[in-house]
Amino acid sequence: MDEEQEEKAKQLPTFEDMAYGPMGKAVRKAMPHTEGDPVAVLAVLLALFSGLVTPYVTQPSGRPCVVWTALVGPSNQGAKGYAYNTGLRILGKPFERILRAVKLSAIHSGPGLVSVLASDQRSAFPGRMYLTFEWSNDMGRTNKCSSYGEVMINIWDGESISNTIKGRGPGAEPVEEYVANPLMGFHAHVQPRTLQLAVKPQRAATGLYNRFLLFSCKRSQRISEHVQRPLDEIKASKALADAFRWVMEEQPAMEWSSEAVDALDELHRKYDALIDELPPETGVFIERSVEQIKRVATVLAVTQQRTVIPAAALSAAEAIVDYAAQSATEVMGEQPSTRSRARPLPERILEILAKNGGAMTRSQMVTALGGGRVTKQMLDDALKLLPQVRETLLPAEEGKSGPRTRELRVVAPSEGGRRPALRVVPQNSLPTSPVRRQKPPTATAVRAAGRAPAKKKTRPKGRGIPQTAFSHLI
């Protein structure tokens, strides 16, 4: 990426970049009556709407278009519940009735999830919506099931899932539960700190969590207590209801516009470069960003009752997924206090010099420290704290113009000229008799001076502080 693209990539997209079609319009109209974050409300709509239409429409490639979202924000201040209820009001009563019928929660094992979806194949509405408002609690249980992550990955990918259970009755043969085309939406709420602790590195490495779009959210405003039921002012979106009815009746075959195809090729290059720059433990959370963009763009086009996905829908989808990608890298990149922190720059400089024989050029040092991550001023400030490192100009090479090369070298204290040399005292010049120290005044002397003796402080007897993991907070 060039400098202009890199600078643009660092800027967090705004809601206006994401607002597209009936969904963007509905969220914008609802904002005066809610405390929810507009991006969070949009994430709720994407999850719920895509989860309900996924039995009837796919991406142009035939892959599912369902979008799994999670709101990541502090309790109360994140207004996650406010955002969810706002999304329900925008969808309206018919959607709420369907959601109540297909809602799933508290499925803590892979075999249990297979059994539920296998029984759904005989229900009136094909598909389920998994809703969990304390996602970290679910993670704590599902982390104990070795097959849960694999089942969730297969569901998101649209691959078949199966499980073998015992037959009923004595001597009955095992029965295989099989779902050829699992259909399930997903939406969750979680706090940043608990998410960091609940996501296990080995589970994240499988790619499970890059199937979810994580959205950092916070309260958009504080509505006065005089307004008792502000959400009652939100009107259901007729356009979204019409789009849902259209997709159920038509089951449209989606396709990309030629402009969108060109944009997708560019997006692959963009995210390949970004993932290469990030540490593996962080980059794993955005490895499927292009696939996520395709899904979001498909859903946005469906809300307009269009079978050809335009480049404008893809652009809005890119902003939505970029926001989620930056949310994920920021939340998961923050190290909990129990983990080790990054070492100071001066310490890293000394270690690098030691590995390179104690001397190297300044440009070589900048490269070893991570290139552009360490500025000239940062390096200069660090060198001021290292008196044992001397920076000198090397002689100019014949026939070579331009600035001379600067070398960093570890020197002995006497060479650096920054520390005083140690003075050696001859043995015979030491004093022969020990120096007598004056004793402190005794209690009798203090009492004689007219002062009352100091009372000895005693601690009241009682129970000691329990030595638990939280003792440092007491």
Q: What is the 3-state secondary structure (H, E, C) of 32-72?
A: HHCCCCHHHHHHHHHHHHHHHHCCCCECCCCCECCCEEEEE
- The beta-carbon contacts of 303-307 under 8 Å, at least 24 apart in sequence, are 303/21, 303/22, 303/23, 303/49, 303/239, 303/240, 303/243, 304/21, 304/22, 304/243, 305/242, 305/243, 305/246, 305/247, 307/252, 307/253, 307/254, 307/255
Show the tokens assigned to 376: 């000239």
> pLDDT of 230-250, one tens digit each?
999 999 999 999 999 999 999
Show the tokens assigned to 323: 């926001």
Q: Would the pLDDT of 398 be above 60?
A: yes
Percent residues over pLDDT 90 in the chain = 48
In what helix (H) or strand (E) does residue 309 lie, and over which residues does it extend? strand 308-309
Residue partners of 384: CB distance under 8 A and separation at least 6 = none
Show the tokens assigned to 88: 């329900």
Question: Residue 413: what pLDDT?
Answer: 62
Q: What's the rounded Cα separation, in Å, for the pair 200 and 410?
A: 42
The reply to whether the predicted model has a pTM over 0.75 is no
Q: Which of 92-106, 233-247, 325-339 has the lowest mean pLDDT?
A: 325-339
Q: Which of 358, 428, 427, 423 is nearest to 386 (CA)?
A: 358
Q: Would the pLDDT of 452 be above 60?
A: no
Question: Residue 337: what pLDDT?
Answer: 44
Q: Which of 308, 268, 261, 257 is nearest to 292 (CA)?
A: 268
> pLDDT of 110-155, one tens digit each?
999 998 888 866 566 778 999 999 998 888 888 888 899 999 999 9
Q: Would the pLDDT of 340 be above 50?
A: no
Q: What's the rounded Cα separation, in Å, for the pair 138 and 384?
A: 50
Residue partners of 10: CB distance under 8 A and separation at least 6 = none
Question: Residue 1: what pLDDT?
Answer: 45
Q: Report how far apart, in Å, the C-alpha atoms of 36 and of each of 28, 71, 99, 220, 331 are.
A: 12, 11, 21, 6, 20
Q: At what angle do helices 289-303 and 38-53 cross, to 10 degrees?
A: 80
- Binned at pLDDT 50, 70 and 90, residue 3 comes out as low
* For the chain, the helix, strand and coil percentages under 3-state DSSP, each to the nearest 5: 50, 10, 40
